[in-house]
Amino acid sequence: AEHMPWADQVFACGPTPMFEAMAAVVREMRTRKRVQVLLEERMGCGTGVCYGCAVFTRKGVRLVCRDGPRMELREAFG
């Protein structure tokens, strides 16, 4: 959080609980900066057929193997 004032954008990779905490910090700071995350999900088929890597986002269900793994933090964790 201490680096947000000077950063143009943020990139992060890690587990879902970390992104949930990060989303809370971003909301609290009320920043409009772009925050991109790499989601860690198991991908059974890698083509989107099995829906094993489905995540629920503001725009509906997204498949990490097909729509990601990079996503906007605000889209994935509001």
The string of pLDDT tens digits covering residues 20-76 is 998 998 888 888 888 999 998 888 898 999 999 999 998 899 999 999 899 999 988
Helix (H, G, I), strand (E, B) or coil at 56: strand
- d(CA 8, CA 5) in angstroms, rounded, equals 8
- d(CA 4, CA 34) in angstroms, rounded, equals 11
Domains and CATH numbers, the chain: 9-77 (2.10.240.10)
pTM (2 d.p.): 0.76
Q: What is the pLDDT of residue 1?
A: 62
**Residue 22 backbone dihedrals phi, psi, to 5 degrees:** -65, -40
What count of other Cβ atoms lies within 10 Å of the Cβ of residue 21?
A: 12
